[in-house]
Amino acid sequence: MNKYEYIDKYYNLYAYGEVDAEMEATGGFLIDQAKGRVLDCGCGPVPQLWTIFMPAMTELYAIDLPQESIDFVNKKISTIHEWAGDFEGYKSFVESRVGALPEDYISTQVSKIKSVSQADMVKALPFDDWFFDTVISLYSLECLKNEKELRDTIANIKRILKPGGTLLHINTNGENKNNVLPAYTWNGLNQSSTLLRELLEEQKFLITCEEVKLPQNDDSMYKYSKIYLMRAFKQ
Ligand SMILES: C[S@@+](CC[C@H](N)C(=O)[O-])C[C@H]1O[C@@H](n2cnc3c(N)ncnc32)[C@H](O)[C@@H]1O
C-alpha cells in the first residue's frame, strides 16, 4: 500500500459518521475537555473530523509529519460540500451531549481550521510560546520511536501551551501491529502510557487518565482492546 492509499483507507475508518464504542469515548473526551485555540498534533488525515467533537474550540491548527496527510486534509477542507452530510451522525452525537446545534454546525467547525502544515513534533512546533489553550494528540505520541523523541516532543508541547492549558492525549494498549502500514503510523512506542505519564510528571504536568475497554471488532484495521484518555494540565 502506498502512502496516499494508506491515508485514504485510514480516513475511511471515520468517513461514515458512525459512533461506535471507541468514538463515543474519544468524542466524549474531546467534547468535555477541548476548548479555545487548539493544536491537533499528529493530525493524520482527520483534523476536520475532530473539529466536530470540539464545540468549545475557537480556532484549530493542525500539523503532521508526511506532506501527503496535509495535501489530503487541505483537499477535504476545500470539498466540504461533498462530504459534510456524511458527518451528521457525529453532529447528532455531539447534540446528545451539549444540546441542539445550528444547521451549519459542521461547516462552521471546519472553517475554524486556520492552518494545516507539515512539521516534525520531535524537532520543533512552528508556533509562538503559550499560543494554545489545548493540544490534542490522538493516537500520535505512541508513534514516536524512543524515550528521547517522546521527551523532546513533550518539551515542545509544553512550550506552546499556555499556563493552565491542557494536553489531551489518547493512545492504545499497543495491540495494533499492522505490517502493511508505513512505518510512521503505528510502529513506535507500544505501551507508551506509563512512560508518557512519567515524562509529563517530570515536566510538572498534573495528570488524570481513564482506561476504556473496547469490544472486540474483527473488522477494525487495528487490533487493540483498550484506549487510554489522558489529560495533562500545565500548571
Ligand atoms: C495513528 S495516526 C493518528 C492520526 C490522527 N491523529 C487520528 O486521530 O486518527 C498517527 C499520526 O502521527 C503522525 N506522526 C508520527 N510521528 C510524527 C512526528 N514526528 N511529527 C508529527 N506527526 C507525527 C503520523 O504521521 C500519523 O498521522
- In this predicted model, what pLDDT tens digit does every residue of 136-175 receive, in sequence order? 999 899 888 888 999 999 999 999 999 999 999 998 887 6
Average the pLDDT over each of 4-18, 64-78, 124-138 and give the range with the smallest value.
Answer: 4-18
Average pLDDT over residues 49-61: 98
What tens digit of pLDDT does each residue of 83-100 get? 999 999 999 999 999 999
Q: Which three cell numbers stand for residue 18?
A: 458512525
Q: Are strands 36-41 and 113-118 parallel, antiparallel or unpaired?
A: unpaired
Pairing of strands 113-118, 57-64: parallel
| 220: confidence class by pLDDT, cuts 50, 70, 90 | low
Instruction: Classify the phi-psi angles of 213: left when phi > 0, otherwise alpha if psi is within -120 to 50, otherwise beta.
Output: beta
Residue 123 phi, psi (nearest 5): -85, -55
185 lines ligand 1 (CB under 6 A): yes
Backbone angles phi, psi at 98, to 5 degrees: -120, -5
The pLDDT of residue 189 is above 70:
no
CATH of the domain at 41: 3.40.50.150
pLDDT of residue 188: 59
The response to whether residue 139 sits with its C-beta less than 6 Å from ligand 1 reads: yes
In the chain, the number of structural domains is: 1
CA of 206 to the centre of ligand 1 (A): 24
Query: Domain range holding 58?
Result: 3-234
Q: Is 57 in the pocket of ligand 1 (CB under 6 A)?
A: no
CA of 176 to the centre of ligand 1 (A): 14
Nearest CA to ligand 1 atom 7: 138
% of the chain beyond a pLDDT of 90? 73
pLDDT at 173: 82
For residue 172, how many other CB atoms are within 10 A of its CB? Answer: 22
CA of 44 to the centre of ligand 1 (A): 5
- pLDDT, averaged across the chain: 91
158 and 203 Cβ atoms separated by less than 8 Å: yes
Give residue 106's pLDDT.
98
| 199 pLDDT more than 80 | yes
Cell numbers standing for residue 46: 482527520
Angstrom distance (rounded) from CA 30 to CA 32: 5
Residue 147 vs residues 10, 113, 116: alpha-carbon distances, Å: 26, 31, 27
pTM: 0.95
Q: Give the pLDDT score at 206.
A: 98
Mean pLDDT to the nearest integer, 105-128: 98
